[in-house]
Structure 1
Amino acid sequence: MSDKPTAVRVYLARVRTALADLPDGEIEEILEDVRPHLVELEAELGEGARVEALIERLGSPESYAAELRASGGYPAPGEGATQVVAPTAAPSLVKPRIAFWGLVLCALALALLAFGAAVTVDPDVLIGLLLFAPVFLVSLVLLLRGGVEPVLALPEVGWLRTTMAKGREQEDTGKVLRYLRSLKPAWWVLCAVALLAFGLLFMLRHRDAVLLLPFLILAAAGGLWAGPRVGADRRLLWVAVPVSAFVIGGALGGFGAVMDLFARGSSPSGSSPYYSSSADHYGNDQLTYGGREVENVYAFDADGKPLTEVYLYDEEGRPITLTRYACEYSTGGTRKIGEDNRFPRPKIEQGVTDDQGNYNGYNGYRGACREIAGVPFSAAIPKVTVAATPSATTTSPPTAATPTR
């Protein structure tokens, strides 16, 4: 590969010199924006094109730099020199830094909350945005009052932009970045579609999420409007960055939720685990108490007598249905025989038998299983006494409710 500078490199070097009074990050971004156009023009002029040919088409690099200044709203070289040579005092970086890091913090919060909401399909997770809304408002107010130039002049912002500019100069990285830049229009359309999809998905699962839909529509419209204009007005980053962060976080969360559904062998329309976050190998919910799985439930009356044929329901009338198992005597294992909410169930013990066929849970050779009916323990029910009130003069015996079947 020849080390001789091309016409584009020579032309851009002179443009860089004409813009030398601007911050380094700004210069790199301006040159990156115009470089693809110059490369195309050089290819159109043919191999071996000289810098003079570019000057004939575009004018001198200095006049071209002046046009770039005017289009970007930058001060003329004389004005910039006056401001730099005779500053009255070093500008404070506190407010610009709050504006910048407020944007970064809110973008990260949006991404994480969107991720959590997508994983759980629960819009209530987004209530956490209220904690970061004041931070974003302070950042936005400082930006509008001080302008975007002090923010772009921050050392951390300059380092970031310089690093990105160096990445563009590398052949492989530059190709990837240029390709991603070419996808910007499609990205904002994708963001709008994703935001609307989030809103509709939340509404299908939670009707109250209809209150969230107007905000998502507003965010989608804001992304479509602000995204393509960020290059001309950097203040619009305070719209484009939060929208992009929310969409990226929600997309990653949705992908994780789908992978989890496939891993568990269930679907979004399946029953939700009201009492457990896991399911058995038949895909049925598991009942847990204190973090431990409960396989059986025993009920007693006030006298400590065990009850049979008890059917369990939750507060909304939904049956607490669990998988029912029985012994598979041919293999010594267990098998599924159904699903119901009837308790108690026979206790299943798996062990082995010895050569004489005697059951032994610890020693032996052949697998075995047995079902133990009844209640394996007794319960002492505490007696509840009700103190008589002083104003009560007569009492009536309690009326026993007759259960219906």
Structure 2
Amino acid sequence: MTVTEQEITDYVARVRAALADLPPDRRTELTEDLADHLTEVAAEAEGTLVERLGEPETYAAELRAAAGVGAGGGRNLDQRVATAVVRVRGQLRAIDTRLGPPLGYDTASEFLRLLRPAWWVLRGYLAAMLLTVISTGGSFGVLPRFGGELLAGLIMLVGFVLASIWLGRRSAQLTRWPRSAVQVGSAVLVVFALSALMQAEDRMRYGDYGIDPTSINGPYDQIRDVFVYDSEGRLVENARLFDQNGNPIRLGYPDCEGSVDEYGNPLLRPYPYCPDRPPFGPRGPRLPQAPASTPSASETPIGTPTPSVPSASPSATPSDGPTPTPTS
């Protein structure tokens, strides 16, 4: 079995962790040529370093004895932390090696390196969405918006993606603290992405019940029910609302008795959800309309002239002249 350089590095790290209670100069003096020595030992014969030299902690004790340095009164905090870090790194490396072959690579980290450009783009998008949530007070969609403006959000998205790509290509050149800051920021974005996915899942489950949440900026953001009245002030039941494209409009949420089923889901019912709670008085019956009147025989049609009958004088007065003709 060939000993790799990574195994030599891990062995040296564990030895230095076991000597963490010594002054830094003394510890560096004892482990200065340790890597070269381990390389020579690995080249001499087959087998792992642990099989040939023992555990790193045992080897560190031998170095103490050879240098005449007694063991400390106890393992200090730095030594315990360093040992724990080395163990965690060893376990992660074992997992990395175990997951590599199913992906077609020696280690899983080799496969993840190919996905780094995609992660750079995704990191810029998540940063833009996080700023969208901050600037809009918690509301967000698929595209980022800065202060509710889509154009400003798209400009912000392009800038963040380019900055993320530039930072990713130069991450190897960063010093310790800038690199740590980038890692912490990436972890925050990953947590934000998971929380956003959980919120989107809740929205989908809420929408499956037929009550789609509607965001309305103004006095209608607290709608619980919708009551429709006709021109005569009568309540209209079984009403449905549609937009100009024929899509149903769902507002409010039923909270009256009988508006949910046995599982607690709102029923798909028209408006109003609670017809016994009208805001403008009780529901009245529809008033009957008066029948149309027909003209009777005693009524005289308007505009029809009435013929006049000439009246004759009861007695005629004789005279010498001609008899006058009665006129109407």
TM-score grouping bracket, smaller chain normalisation = 0.3 to 0.5
- TM-score, scaled to structure 1: 0.33
Q: Which has the higher contact order (CA 8 A, sep 6+)?
A: 1
Which protein has the bigger helix share?
A: 1
Q: Bigger radius of gyration, 1 or 2?
A: 2
TM-score where L is the length of structure 2? 0.39
